[in-house]
Each structure stands twice: as C-alpha cells, then as structure tokens.
Amino acid sequence: MRWIEVTAAMLAAVGVLKTVTAIAVETAEIRNFEISEVAPGNYVHYGSLEERSPENLGDNANIGFIVGERCVLVVDAGGSLPVGRALKRAIRRVTQVPVCHVVLTHVHPDHFFGAAAFIEDGAQFIAHRNYPRQLAARARPYLSYLRRDLGKAAEGSDIVEPTLLVDGRLELDLGGRSVEVRAWPPAHTDDDLTVFDRLTRTFWLADLLFVDHTPVIDGTITGFLAVMEDLREIDAAHYVAGHGRSLAPWPQPLVPQRRYFVAILEETRAAIRSKKTIQQATDEVGLAEAKNWVAFDTFHRRNVTMAYTELEWE
Amino acid sequence: MSNGTGRISILLAALAFALPVFANEKAEPDPARSPYWEPIKQLMFGDRMINPDDRNVIRVYLNTRADDASTVPVAVKAQIDQTDEDYIKSIYLIVERNPSPTAGLFHFTPSSGRAQVETRLRFEDFSFVRAVAEMNDGKLYMSQRWVKAAGGCSAPNGRNFVPEALLGKMKLRFDDDTITYGKPTLVQLMIRHPNESALASDFDADKVPQFVRSVRVSFDGRTVMDAQVDFSLSDNPNFRFFFSPNDKGELKIEVEDTHDRKFNHSLPIAEGAPLPGG
C-alpha cells in the first residue's frame, strides 16, 4: 500500500475511534449488558467483582428482575444510572409488561444508584423499614463519593426515596406468580430485604449471600450468623447472591460465608479475652481466610473492626 | 495470591484515574509545613514554643493506613514517669483536618503513674494526628503521625444507632485480674453513645449533634483522668488509661454529653478482689 493510502486509512481509523469514544463518554451507556435466566421468569445480571471505576460504571452487584403476566419486579437497580438504564433495556428485550415494583434490598450504593432509571415507570420503590433512617445519614457522602469515582458518568444517578416500607413479610402478585419480600433483623446492614419467587422457588438474597467476594459486615456479625441459620431453612431450588455466582445446590453456598464469619467471631472473642487491643485484633484475626476470597485486602480488616467493637460489649 | 495482586493493580490503576486529588496526598507531607496546622497552633498555643519531640517525652502509636475511618485506634503514650517535680499536666489530641480538630484534651496528675491514653478517632480526611504534651512547668512537646483515612465524620457506618435504653451505659475492663496497691493497671472505659456530629445528615432535618463532651474518672475523689472530648471520637467512646490505687475505694466515672445529659458509673476497688475483664 502506498504511504498516502496508509496515512489516509490511519487518519480515518483515528477519526472513527474518536467519534466512537466521544459517543461512549457522553451517553455513558453500558453495552454488552448480559442477563441469564436462572429459572423461568427470573433474570439476573452478574456485576463485576472489582471495585467501582469509570470502566465498570458502578456495575458491581448482582441485580435482576422477575416477570409476571401483569408486572415486572426489579431486584436492585445497580450502582449508577447507566446500570439502571441497561437493566431497563434488558427488561424490554424480554417483555413489554410494566415495571410495578423496584425492591431496594439494602442501603448500599452498588445496589441503589441505578434506581432513578425506573422513576418514569411509576413503580413502587420497596425497602426495609430501617432504610430511610440509614439513607438520611449516608445520602450526601454516598453521592459525593459516586461523583468522585465516576466523574461525569455519575450524572443523573440520584437518591430515590422508598415509597413502600416492609416490616416482616410482604406478598406481591405479579400476575400468575406470587413473590414474597421479607425484611430481616440486622445482619449485613440493619435494613436487609430478600425476594422469593414462589413459582420457581428462586431465592434472591442480595448481600445476605456473598460468593467469592469477601462478605461484608456493615450491620452485626452475630446478627448475620443468626439470620444465616434461618436462610438455611428456606426451601430454595435456585438462588441469587448479591455478589458472585455458584452452581452449588442450596444451602451449600452459605458454607464458606459461615466459615469466614465463625473464624472472625471466634478469633475476635479470643483476642478480646486475652486483652488484645482492637489494633492487634485487626492485624491478626482471620488471616487464614485470605486465600478464599476476592477483595480481601479491601474489606477484611474493616469486618474485624466491626466485629471487635460489637463483641467487646459482650 | 495472583488474583489479589492482579486486582490490586486494577484497583490502583482505577484509583489513579479516578482520584487525581488523592494521588497528591498519597505521599506523606512534611509535618512542619502543614497549612492546616498553623492556624490551629496559633489559636490553641499562640506564640508558645512547641518542642518537636524526638520521642523522649511523648509518642503517638497507630497504623498509618486506617481500616475504618470512623474507628481509628490511636495511642498516646508518655515516655517518662509522672513525678511530683516533673509531670505531664495535659495532652492535646488534634486531628488537623477534622471539622473539629481538637479531638480531646486529657488532664493528668503526678498520681496518674504514666500519662497515657488510647482511644478511637474519626478521620474526615488524610491528616496528621498530633499529640501535644504540656508539662507542669508549661513546656510543650509534640509528636505526630500521618493517617490515611477519609469520611469518618460525614459517612457513618451501620453501628451508629444506639437504642435509647442503652445510651450512656458503661463498661470497665481491666488488663489485670486483680488490683495490687501501688501498681499501675491499665483500665478500659467504654461508653455507649452514638457520638455523632450530624454533619452527614442534611437529608434528615431532625438530626442534631449528639456527642460526649466530658469524661471524668476519679478514685476516692481524686482525679485519675479528666477529659474534654467531642465528635472526633468514634461512636461508643472508648478509652484505655492507667490507674494506680494505694488503698481500697470507689472508682467513679462521670460523663456529660451535648444534651446536658449526665451518666454515672462506679466500681468498688480492693486489692485481691476480682476485676471485670471480659
């Protein structure tokens, strides 16, 4: 090829690349947003296990939807408006039935910042009774951290207040299919909800279950272990974790998480009994678990801090 | 752990891309040149000379990289014994980038044994924490450490909610199993209190600051530790300090908070009697 043709080709390629990049930055759209039908009518998008970044646009949690004859119920909206929008487009690829309910499983940004995408649907935003109190305390810092991490791509991501609070169990009819939304005592946070699709016995646990990703304690470790005893009894044929995925039959995926929490619980209690300071405990507790989990360096020591400050009152 | 290092590189790359502000603050700045310190120093100490301490009088102990910005354990330990002639009268604990920089002012006496206090602090931004010791003759000595933590004042964690029935409840834990008269023993005081500034909560109009303002520990009427503190301390304020009784008596704690609430706790102390240790 003559040099002028090569140069022209390169310039054209650069021109195309710049245009494509410009489009991508301006609309901050997520392409290749994959969903899997884990059970009939239950669709899941598995988020990245990595930390929030402009590359993943806060797509860091598992989210999805359940389709009834009359209604769609959304379980979590993702970590930013682009994620919520991508989920909405995925719903429309599957069904034209309206979104009636958006369940906000708990007050963590990777699960709720996409909720603004569903405001125009006139959906009910459903949350735990304790959710508004936590949201009020965290909304402003969460928004500023989102803007810090995602920059312009955070535009439009906003706090959405729940319109319906759950305290106990709530049964919802999606048209030919019944779904139970259940509020739990403090565990991962003090405002955890799960969703159970009765038709397929699919159990959406949100962050009451972590697979591969270091489980996070932002509520109470003893409470989390107690709730897990109840989770084990649920007769689930399929399940969806808040982070990660597994093929193991229910309730096996609870086993590694339980082992991790019990290690923290027992070693922290021992540390407290032998008069170790909180500093010593965070240095020493639970290190054998490091090889079993992703993002361990980011979350483990804070988990130990939470456990220590809880257990020292025993 | 190849997974771990791979992900850490991705994380660092993402951080470098997304947090240009923080990239400048990763390297520890020169404590003598901190722009935040000058105005605080002027306000609190005027033109008094502060001796930079080469670790002979007072030392700050902590982990530079904090795990939880709302619960950063900090220990300030005197390197000298308290004597009647020569003792540390006060220790100022300052987090220079916090909305309220003076986290605590702790008073000691010759009978404190050692002027030492460990507590847990909130850090709003990467900052120096400084301990200034004031001697009985007025001389000032300072030690400081750099701490990498952010969001501790404005971004609360799930623990902050303390039920009404538990507010102000206290617990004492001792390192030793029992008291020996004349021997200093390390005691830990824990107070149930959200200790919050309400800085984060402009979505909640009812939220007002609610934090512990003063803690007075005395034994038989004599001060063991006297502290003025604020919301730079973590929720459920926690203190470890020395206590050296010479006879049996009552250890008394008096706590006051911003709502003018007073909380009291006491424990009888006698040589040989078992102590709460947990």
Q: Tell me: the pLDDT tens digits for A37-58?
A: 999 999 999 999 999 999 999 9
Higher-scoring residue by pLDDT: B227, A5: B227
Q: Inter-chain contact B204–A136, Cβ cutoff 8 Å?
A: yes
Give the distance from residue A242's alpha carbon to the nearest chain B alpha carbon, in angstroms.
Answer: 18
Q: Are strands B170-174 and B50-52 parallel, antiparallel or unpaired?
A: unpaired
Q: Give me the pLDDT at residue A19, please.
A: 46
Q: What is the mean pLDDT of each run of 10 residues along chain B (278 residues)?
A: 45 40 60 91 94 85 87 94 92 94 94 90 92 96 92 70 89 92 91 85 69 94 92 95 90 96 96 80
| B contacts of A149 (beta carbons < 8 Å) | 18-19
| A contacts of B236 (beta carbons < 8 Å) | 309, 313
| B contacts of A141 (beta carbons < 8 Å) | 151, 154-155, 200
Q: Give me the pLDDT at residue A256, please.
A: 98
**Residue pairs between chains A and B whose CB atoms are closer than 8 Å:** 114
Could you tell me the residue range of the domain that residue B33 belongs to?
22-269
Q: Give me the pLDDT at residue B3, please.
A: 43
- b/e map of A53-62 (b: 16 or more CB within 10 Å)? bbebbbbbbb
Q: Inter-chain contact B73–A149, Cβ cutoff 8 Å?
A: no
Mean pLDDT of A91-99: 97
| A contacts of B11 (beta carbons < 8 Å) | 50-51, 298
Give the closest residue to B40 by CA, choosing from B88, B97, B91, B90: B97
C-beta of residue A79 within 8 angstroms of C-beta of residue A89 = no
Q: Residue B39, Cβ neighbours under 10 Å: how many? A: 11
Q: Inter-chain contact B7–A50, Cβ cutoff 8 Å?
A: yes
Give me the residue from B67, B151, B207 closest to A305, CB to CB: B67
Q: Inter-chain contact B158–A304, Cβ cutoff 8 Å?
A: no
Q: Inter-chain contact B157–A298, Cβ cutoff 8 Å?
A: no
- Interface pTM, i.e. ipTM: 0.83
How would DSSP label each residue in chain A? --HHHHHHHHHHHHHHHHHHHHHHHHH-PPPS---EEEETTEEEEPPPSSPP-TTTTT--S-EEEEE-SS-EEEE---SSHHHHHHHHHHHHHH--S-EEEEE--SS-HHHHTTGGGGGGGT-EEEEETTHHHHHHHHHHHHHHHHHHHHGGGGTT------SEEESSEEEEE-SS-EEEEEE-SSSSSSS-EEEEETTTTEEEEEEEEESSBPP--SS-HHHHHHHHHHHHHS--SEEEEEE----SPTTTTHHHHHHHHHHHHHHHHHHHHTT--HHHHHHHTTGGGGGG-BTHHHHHHHHHHHHHHHHTT-
Q: Inter-chain contact B71–A138, Cβ cutoff 8 Å?
A: no
* CA gap B79, B41 in Å, rounded: 23
| A contacts of B8 (beta carbons < 8 Å) | 297
Q: Tell me: the pLDDT tens digits for A98-149?
A: 999 999 999 999 999 999 999 999 999 999 999 998 898 888 889 988 999 9
CATH code of the domain in which B89 resides: 2.60.40.2470
Give me the residue from B19, B75, B154 closest to A148, CB to CB: B19
Q: Give me the pLDDT at residue B206, please.
A: 66
| A contacts of B173 (beta carbons < 8 Å) | 312
C-beta of residue B208 within 8 angstroms of C-beta of residue B194 = no
Give the distance from residue B92's alpha carbon to the nearest chain A alpha carbon, in angstroms.
Answer: 22
Q: Inter-chain contact A294–B11, Cβ cutoff 8 Å?
A: no
Q: Are strands B238-243 and B185-191 parallel, antiparallel or unpaired?
A: antiparallel
With 0-12 / 13-18 / 19 or more C-beta atoms within 10 angstroms meaning exposed / middle / buried, residue B20 is exposed
Total structural domains in chain B?
A: 1
Does CATH place domain A31-248 in 3.40.50.2000?
no
* CA gap A299, A282 in Å, rounded: 11
Q: Which residue has the tokens 């719903």?
A: A91
Mean pLDDT of A9-26: 48
Give the closest residue to A306 by CA, choosing from B133, B70, B184, B141: B70
Give me the residue from B75, B155, B190 closest to A138, CB to CB: B155
| A contacts of B7 (beta carbons < 8 Å) | 50, 294-295
| A contacts of B277 (beta carbons < 8 Å) | 275
| Closest alpha carbon within chain B to A149 | B18
Q: Inter-chain contact B67–A50, Cβ cutoff 8 Å?
A: no
As given in the structure block, the two tokens for residue B71 are 């619960």
Q: Give me the pLDDT at residue A9, please.
A: 55
Q: What is the mean pLDDT of chain A?
A: 92
Q: Is residue B232 part of a domain?
A: yes
Q: Inter-chain contact A51–B14, Cβ cutoff 8 Å?
A: yes
Q: Are strands B170-174 and B116-121 parallel, antiparallel or unpaired?
A: unpaired
C-beta of residue B266 within 8 angstroms of C-beta of residue A260 = no
Q: Tell me: the pLDDT tens digits for A201-232?
A: 999 999 999 999 999 999 999 999 999 999 99
Q: Give me the pLDDT at residue A258, please.
A: 98
As given in the structure block, the two tokens for residue A241 are 């974790």
| Closest alpha carbon within chain B to A299 | B67
Q: Is A274 within 8 Å of chain B by CB?
A: no
Which span out of A239-243, A272-276, B216-220 was modeled with the highest average pLDDT?
A239-243
Q: Give me the pLDDT at residue B221, please.
A: 86
Q: Inter-chain contact B18–A189, Cβ cutoff 8 Å?
A: no
Q: Inter-chain contact A136–B201, Cβ cutoff 8 Å?
A: yes
